[in-house]
Amino acid sequence: MTTGSSNRPLIWDLIDKKKEVFTELSDRVWETPETCYMETLSAAAHREMLEAQGFRIAENVAGIPTALIGEAGEGGPVIAFLGEYDALAGLSQKAGIAHVDPVTQGANGHGCGHNLLGAASLLAATALKDWLKKTGTPGRVRYYGCPAEEGGAAKAFMVRAGAFEDVDIAISWHPSNFAGVQRETSLANCRIDFTFTGRAAHASAVPELGRSALDAVELMNVGINYMREHMPSDCRIHYAVLDTGGISPNVVQAHAKVRYVVRSPELPGLISLIERVKKVAEGAALMTETKVESTILSGVSNLMVNTPLMDAMQDIWESLGPPEFDEADLGFAEQIRGTLTAEDIAASWAQERLEQRDIALADFILPPHNEVRQMGGSTDVGDVSWVVPTVQAYGATHAIGTQLHTWQVVAQGQSPLAHKGMISAAKALAATGLAALESDQLREAAWADLKKRRKGQEYTSPIPQGAEPPIAAMTAK
């Protein structure tokens, strides 16, 4: 389904006219990497840009201080662009350097490229806003500034608060090795804290009086590791010990906490697996004569792809073509590739099921495929996709073989090649929004596809009713 093709050059020209200021926005967010629910400076930078570009602004969306919405236009369909700007802990890295060199050891870094993600989505929204004004076309454009994608599930709380109730189409993207349409589903997941409480004692004089919460955490982890053999192979479980109870080995630790992430391809399987994990925790508490409490911090649904929107975006990408990288871009990409293993590079090609080529930057658009594939990660875009027809792009913003959540992504985050990939993605997003705005047929087909994929199921968040955004838990040090 090809729509809006005659207006694409105008939309792309509008993007080119403002690309420098949005590149500066991306770089500004890169300079102040902030993690889950702490994106104060990053959200402020996006708010300033929304104000400068003439959007009407709503803040504190769903009770989240760093979530915001900018809207422009009147009447007509509502087209939403989803942006993110959260970073990752421990990935500090200087820009433009092809070796490990943190800005500040142990500090945050944009290891998933969300500085680019938010800026491109806002640029796309701005271009479509400008087109509406220029042409006098009825319609509303919204930019959703979404924090805490990395583990905080902010979009799930925003969906639950009704922030997407009147949206017709939602559009997003993600930095990647290649440019094209994301045609993969994601894993549903849940983030749970298990807090064990025991009894302190002198570990040598009267060890029999102690009940070790740290032992309980260790036994839970062992139990989960044994359980991995007996759960579906496409599920995932990860953990991180948040509190070991203290630094004194001669004290029986009376408290300890471990955070688990449980993932499954679909929500029913996730709920079942969560109950099994809880039983292991209860078993560990029983063995150690401690008490355990579990708290669900966040949860996200599996992603619903949308065939009509994917096909429309595919047509746009093939018309647009890949970013025009130059020799300097290729040179830096080759330096980055020198830090990658052969397995890194092969995995990137294999993920898209493409024949591996000896190139450092993508010079093509990902071809379409009919099968719905499963990616290993999770995203709170999944919750949006259950209530609004949603489509996502990939943007070619780093050297082929670069794995997300690595220092190499941070090193490339301010590079000209990343900027070119970001601008290219903005053009694909804006043209997709234009196509949806102009075509009743496309919007109707997208909604019909979503209803078919839901198979009669209503959206039910994996987050318990009454749970609030885990701002305090995620921002605690």
Q: How far is CA 34 from the centre of its chain?
A: 14
Q: What are the tokens at 386?
A: 């259950």
Residue 260 β-bridge partners: 192, 239
> Which pLDDT belongs to residue 3?
55
Model confidence at 230, pLDDT cuts 50, 70, 90, reads very high
Mean pLDDT of 171-190: 96
Mean pLDDT confidence for 235-254: 96
Give me the count of residues in the chain. 477
Q: Is the pLDDT of residue 472 over 80?
A: no
Q: Are 61 and 163 in contact (CB under 8 A)?
A: yes
State the pairing for strand pair 139-146/78-84.
parallel
CATH code: domain 5-185+302-454 is 3.40.630.10
Please determine, for residue 80, whether its predicted confidence score (pLDDT) is greater than 50.
yes
Q: Where are the alpha helices (DSSP H) in 32-113?
A: 40-52
pLDDT band at 268 (very low <50, low <70, confident <90, very high): confident
Residue 373: its pLDDT value, please?
A: 80
The helix or strand, by DSSP H or E, that contains position 454, with its residue range, turns out to be helix 440-454
Average pLDDT, whole number, for the chain?
A: 95
Provide CATH 3.30.70.360 ranges for the chain.
188-300
**Closest by Cα among 399, 375, 378, 380 to 390:** 380
Q: How far apart are CA 341 and CA 165, in angstroms?
A: 45
- Region of 332 on the Ramachandran plot (φ > 0 left; ψ -120 to 50 alpha; else beta): alpha
Section 432-450 average pLDDT: 97
Residue 477 pLDDT class (50, 70, 90 cuts):
very low
Angle among Cα 336, 341, 346 to the nearest 5 degrees reads 100
Q: Please list the alpha-helical segments (H only) found in 368-439.
A: 381-387, 407-412, 416-438
Write the CB contacts of 385 (distance below 8 Å, at least 6 apart in sequence): 170, 301, 303, 304, 305, 306, 450
Contact indicator for 128, 72 with CB cutoff of 8 Å: no
Residue owning tokens 């000209």: 416
Report pTM: 0.93
CA atoms within 13 A on the CB side of 393: 38
Crossing angle of the two packed helices 8-31 and 416-438, in degrees rounded to 10: 130
Considering only residues 370 and 361, tell me which one the structure prediction assigns the higher pLDDT.
361
What's the token pair of residue 241?
Answer: 């010990």
Tell me the CA end-to-end span of the chain in Å, nearest whole number. 50
Second CATH level (architecture) for the domain 188-300: 2-Layer Sandwich (3.30)
CA distance 192 to 240: 11
Q: Where are the alpha helices (DSSP H) in 289-360?
A: 307-320, 327-337, 342-351
Residue pointed to by tokens 């970001």? 422
The CA R_g of the chain, rounded to the nearest whole Å, is 23
Predicted pLDDT of residue 476: 57
- Cβ-based neighbour number of residue 205 at 10 Å: 9
**What are the start and end residues of each CATH 3.40.630.10 domain in the chain?**
5-185+302-454
Token pair for residue 429? 């997003």
12, 130, 121, 158: which is closest to 72 by C-alpha? 130
